[in-house]
Amino acid sequence: MSVSNIEKTPAVSKTPSKPPTSRKKTIRTPIASIRAKCVDCAGGSRAEVNSCELTDCPLWPYRMGKRPGGDA
Protein backbone atom coordinates (compact mmCIF):
# COMPACT_ATOMS: atom_id res chain seq x y z
CA MET A 1 0.00 0.00 0.00
CA SER A 2 1.47 3.31 -0.97
CA VAL A 3 1.40 6.47 1.12
CA SER A 4 -1.20 8.07 -1.14
CA ASN A 5 -3.62 5.15 -0.57
CA ILE A 6 -3.28 5.38 3.21
CA GLU A 7 -4.19 9.04 3.17
CA LYS A 8 -7.38 8.29 1.22
CA THR A 9 -8.55 5.54 3.59
CA PRO A 10 -11.40 6.77 5.80
CA ALA A 11 -10.83 6.79 9.53
CA VAL A 12 -12.48 4.05 11.57
CA SER A 13 -15.03 5.33 14.06
CA LYS A 14 -14.34 4.41 17.67
CA THR A 15 -17.92 4.95 18.77
CA PRO A 16 -20.10 1.85 18.78
CA SER A 17 -22.71 1.69 16.07
CA LYS A 18 -26.38 1.43 16.90
CA PRO A 19 -27.88 -2.04 16.55
CA PRO A 20 -30.15 -2.42 13.54
CA THR A 21 -33.77 -1.74 14.26
CA SER A 22 -35.97 -4.77 14.04
CA ARG A 23 -39.64 -5.53 14.16
CA LYS A 24 -41.41 -5.38 17.47
CA LYS A 25 -41.27 -8.75 19.19
CA THR A 26 -44.57 -10.52 19.51
CA ILE A 27 -45.31 -12.29 22.75
CA ARG A 28 -46.81 -15.70 22.09
CA THR A 29 -48.48 -18.17 24.36
CA PRO A 30 -46.71 -21.53 24.73
CA ILE A 31 -49.39 -23.22 22.61
CA ALA A 32 -48.98 -20.62 19.84
CA SER A 33 -45.21 -21.08 19.97
CA ILE A 34 -45.61 -24.84 19.57
CA ARG A 35 -47.93 -24.29 16.60
CA ALA A 36 -45.38 -21.94 15.01
CA LYS A 37 -42.64 -24.54 15.52
CA CYS A 38 -44.80 -27.21 13.88
CA VAL A 39 -45.51 -24.96 10.89
CA ASP A 40 -41.77 -24.29 10.61
CA CYS A 41 -41.01 -28.02 10.82
CA ALA A 42 -43.57 -28.70 8.06
CA GLY A 43 -41.86 -26.26 5.71
CA GLY A 44 -44.33 -23.47 6.33
CA SER A 45 -47.36 -25.51 5.27
CA ARG A 46 -50.25 -25.49 7.74
CA ALA A 47 -51.88 -28.32 5.77
CA GLU A 48 -48.79 -30.47 6.38
CA VAL A 49 -49.09 -29.79 10.12
CA ASN A 50 -52.67 -31.07 10.01
CA SER A 51 -51.58 -34.29 8.31
CA CYS A 52 -48.38 -34.77 10.36
CA GLU A 53 -47.68 -38.44 11.06
CA LEU A 54 -44.77 -37.96 13.49
CA THR A 55 -46.73 -39.18 16.50
CA ASP A 56 -43.54 -39.83 18.48
CA CYS A 57 -42.78 -36.07 18.50
CA PRO A 58 -43.45 -34.60 21.97
CA LEU A 59 -45.17 -31.60 20.35
CA TRP A 60 -47.50 -33.70 18.18
CA PRO A 61 -50.55 -33.51 20.53
CA TYR A 62 -50.23 -29.70 20.58
CA ARG A 63 -49.63 -29.18 16.82
CA MET A 64 -53.14 -27.88 16.12
CA GLY A 65 -52.69 -24.93 18.48
CA LYS A 66 -54.90 -26.37 21.20
CA ARG A 67 -54.32 -28.39 24.32
CA PRO A 68 -55.03 -32.10 24.02
CA GLY A 69 -58.40 -33.07 25.50
CA GLY A 70 -60.27 -30.01 24.28
CA ASP A 71 -59.13 -27.53 26.95
CA ALA A 72 -58.57 -24.36 24.95
What's the whole-model pTM score? 0.58
Task: Give the confidence band of 27 by pLDDT, cuts at 50, 70, 90.
Answer: confident
User: Which residue, among 18, 38, 43, 20, has the nearest Cα to 28 in the 3D structure?
Assistant: 38
**Res 18 pLDDT > 80:** no
**Res 56 pLDDT > 80:** yes
Q: Cα(65)–Cα(33) distance, rounded to whole angstroms?
A: 9
How confident is the model over 29-44, as a mean pLDDT?
Answer: 94
Mean pLDDT of the chain: 81
Q: Cα(39)–Cα(33) distance, rounded to whole angstroms?
A: 10
**Res 72 pLDDT > 70:** no
